[in-house]
Chains A and B, each alone.
Chain A
Amino acid sequence: MKSPFLSLFMFCAILLNCNSQTAELKSSIERGKDIYTDFCVTCHLPNGEGVKNVYPPLAQSDYLKNNREASILGIKYGQKGEIVVNGKTYNSFMAPMGLSDDEVADVMNYITNSWGNQEDKIITEEEVSKIKK
């Protein structure tokens, strides 16, 4: 009994999750996935888990969830210095990728809505353009 119920629940949860995303967010996430595959996957890996002690995880990352602006800043201009992610300290250098503002927005929407992460408030090109070093 338990397992079909659980499946049904998850199915509904997926549906609800999808419905809560606007068409705009959905297409941004889709474009963001391509950017992720091109620029991010080598270090942060397809499942967003990162590499132990070197590249912080994006999946279920408290840093990404709680630091929207700093995360955008890190992708836009590069990430340097110590950051604490899920209780672990990381100190690798991530170079700026040379992405345009709309591409930064797309990849942010993808990583904040993948691997169990959820962020309903869409990140727009305008929001990225206002974030400066």
Chain B
Amino acid sequence: MKQIHSLLAITFIVFSACAQQKDSEVKAESPTNVNYTSELVVLDLNIPWGMAFLPDGSILITEKSGELIHFKNGEKNLIEGVPDVYVRGQGGFMDVKLHPNYKDNGWIYFSFASSEGEGDGGNTAILRAKLNGNTLVENKVLYKASPNSKRGQHFGSRIEFDDEGFLYFSIGDRGDRDVNPQDITRDCGKIYRLNDDGSIPEDNPFVKTENAKTAIFSYGHRNPQGMAKNPFTRAIWVNEHGPRGGDEINVIEKGKNYGWPVISYGINYSGTTFTDITEKEGMEQPLFYWVPSIAPSGMDFVSSDIYPDWKGNVLVGSLKFEYLERLVLKNNKVVKREKLLEGIGRVRHVVQAPDGYIYVAVEGKGIFKIVPKN
């Protein structure tokens, strides 16, 4: 009997797997002509999740496994005093970001998975510290999501500042799709906003909502692993992983609900569906969605004069297809997608550094710098 039930179950799964998905309207193309090339500037990294460029031209690089590397004059040094990192599944030592006034105040911000607090497992935390020689000092945890979970998924992690100096960061749904993202009394599946000292801004959207996590700025997110301030509009943009299909770019607005998992362009990894709708009143539409998924991690805008062909474009790393995606926008719509650095490896992060050059962090390889061809 049991076998028959299994067979029926398999048959059912096979048939229900025929869920229809609408592919992205704009397809990614291979470029016909690229006037830039790449050179490997930092060698031998495993999972370089985050990178921050210090005023002296050196780079701070986070390795997911828990190390903080200071790359200076062609040499790597390990920084001491880093937090205890809970390394499991997609979680570990993640983003690093300098305060906009780093030159004056020296503050550096980190995201990492931490097992501190309530329950077994871990959840995403935000740390502020200063670099003194080879050591992190004045470490202070500004936020720690709870409860902990042993699940391996969706820690989010990206950190960004807006023009007013507010600190934004992402935490994914931690694999609890049906519990976390739509509930503002719970952590996870959210974009958060804090003051740079970790206090809650008075005008955060849910400060007066009973039992709400008051650091929440927007909700209904799955797993945003890219976040950047649009240098032209000054808005905070994110890219987030969908399940099978349904990765999204979202422009973050205060108090808004981005719909996960009530609306989605994605389906389950198994091919079955979890929702029939892609839009609903009161929920935001993405600026762009990817079907099939590219597994986007890391995002930045090209604003520097070094790349006239790409100015104003968005760059997004693809973990799954191992390339850097260039998205051309017109009137806030994606009109063209191009596959740069095809086959380079899993692209974890991309940053336009203060020197105007674009740096690309690739798993198992290192950090590449994109330079004009001579």
Contact = CB atoms under 8 A, between A and B. Distances in A.
Interface stretch (A24-32, A35-43, A108-116): A35-43
Interface residues of B, number: 26
A98 B88 contact: yes
Contacts of B65: 95-96
Is chain B's binding surface mostly helix, strand, loop or mixed?
loop
A83 interface: no
Contact of A78 (B46, B86, B89): B46
A11 interface: yes
B3 interface: yes
Is chain A's binding surface mostly helix, strand, loop or mixed?
loop
A97 B88 contact: yes
Contacts of A15: 3
Contacts, number: 57
B316 to A, nearest CB: 17
Interface residues of A, number: 22
A75 to B, nearest CB: 12
Contacts of A11: 3
Interface of A: 11, 14-15, 38-39, 41-43, 45-46, 51, 54, 78, 80, 91-93, 95-99
A45 B17 CA distance: 14
B46 A80 contact: yes
B321 interface: yes
7 contacts: A42-B269, A80-B364, A92-B322, A93-B46, A93-B47, A97-B89, A98-B152
A76 to B, nearest CB: 13
Contacts of A80: 46, 364
A110 B173 CA distance: 26
Contacts of A99: 88
Contacts of B245: none
A49 B327 CA distance: 30
Contact of B346 (A39, A46, A78, A93): A93
A21 B346 CA distance: 38
Given A38-B151, A41-B269, A80-B364, A95 B64 contact: yes
